[in-house]
Structure 1
Amino acid sequence: MASTTANQQTVDVPAKSGKLKRILLIALIAIFAAGAAAGGMYFFLLKHGVSSKPAPPPPPPPPVFFALDPMTVNLLSDDGQHYLRVGLSLKLANEKTQEALQQHMPEIRSRILLALSNKHPEDLSTLDGKHALADELKTLIEKPTDASEPPVHIEAVLFTEFVVQ
């Protein structure tokens, strides 16, 4: 009877050992798969440039400056002896706007001359008066020349010459 018991014990030991090997094998495969997944994620994120810092936005295109010919107008005054000589440059977003303005330049110059000739010398002598004139000219120039055309956008009206006498 002792031999029967010994045979049973030897049979049980290899069965437990086989289960332990299976568990260790499954654990090793799981660890290897997790490591491969982590390495793949790291490589994928590194390769595609995902970083903690966002990319800086591209710099805006440089503005386009469109110089108008100098203009001389008589100003409204009691003695009628005052005039204004003004040189203007327009700050535009792109060259397409410049081309649109160039096509309608006679009408735009006429608008500007009429607006300037209705000014008094006292209105133009202060800094606030000059800023108000620049804003008024910007509005006049942006106004569409044809009803079917959209208005043009001007970033700023800049004075390159300004003489009141």
Structure 2
Amino acid sequence: MAKAAATADDAGTEAPKKSNKMLIIIIALLLVVIIGGAAAFFMMGGNHDAEDADAHDDEVVAEEDHDAAAKEARKAKLKKKKEADAKGLPPVFVELDPFTVNLQQETAMDQYLQVKASVRVDEQHAADQLKAYMPEIRHRVLLLLSSKKASELNTPQGREDLAENMVDTINAIVGEIPKNRKGEPEKPIGPVEAVLFTSFIVQ
């Protein structure tokens, strides 16, 4: 009888031990699955982050290349001007045919602008290029002039601004228009250095 009781007690102690082992195994398996899933998730996320970083780096490099190209173009233009000045070469001018346009109406009376201007370029080749593009240049300049009001042109600063606008308008035709990092157009780069008014009448 004593032996039988002892066997029953041993069976009672072994049963919780087995269930404890099973519980530990299940928990360990769950931990392995969770850790493995988390590792896979982070690895995939890391790859996406790396790809995004690479794409961003490519964009930055492209922007820097574009900015560098624009800077090089400006430097080359300045260098060419300095060389021409050092050699004592005379400036090259292209005289534009007179412009007569109606200005934007501000009063009951119609107002118009009559302008004669010359364009200074960096070399003779550019002067020939301007002549080849003259129909388009005259068209764009006429549109620019006719968009102005008399009140904008009655001051020295207003006329200087108009001359600068004409420089940009012509350079946009015969030169290039660089873009900034946002893809927005910047000041055109071209052979035209200045527009000089030889006659300017607002009536």
TM-score interval (norm. to shorter)? 0.5 to 0.7
Q: Which amino acid aligns with 2:159?
A: K
Per the alignment, residue 119 of structure 1 pairs with 148
Instruction: Give the structure, 1 or 2, with the largest relative contact order (CA under 8 Å, sep 6 or more).
Output: 1
Number of matched pairs: 107
Per the alignment, residue 162 of structure 1 pairs with 200
Tell me the secondary structure at the aligned position of residue 196 of structure 2: strand
Structure 1-normalised TM-score? 0.60
Q: Which amino acid aligns with 1:76?
A: Q
Per the alignment, residue 152 of structure 1 pairs with 190
Per the alignment, residue 93 of structure 1 pairs with 122
Q: Sort the Cα spacing of 1:153 and 1:80 in 2 relative to 1 into closer, same or farther, 3 A.
A: farther
Give structure 2 stretches of 5+ with no counterpart. 1-84, 177-187
Percent identity between the two aligned chains: 40
CA contact (8 A) 1:97 1:152 kept: no
CA contact (8 A) 1:85 1:163 kept: yes
Structure 1 vs Structure 2 CA RMSD: 2.1
CA contact (8 A) 2:137 2:173 kept: no
CA–CA distance in 1 between the matches of 2:143 and 2:112? 13
Structure 2-normalised TM-score? 0.49
Matches within 5 A, 1:61-100: 61-78=89-106, 79=108, 81-100=110-129
CA contact (8 A) 2:129 2:174 kept: no
1:59 positional shift: 2.9
Instruction: Point out 4+ residue stretches in structure 1 off by more than 2 angstroms.
Output: 57-60, 144-147
Q: Computing the radius of gyration over CA atoms, which structure comes out larger, 1 or 2? A: 1
Higher helix share: 2
CA contact (8 A) 2:115 2:199 kept: yes
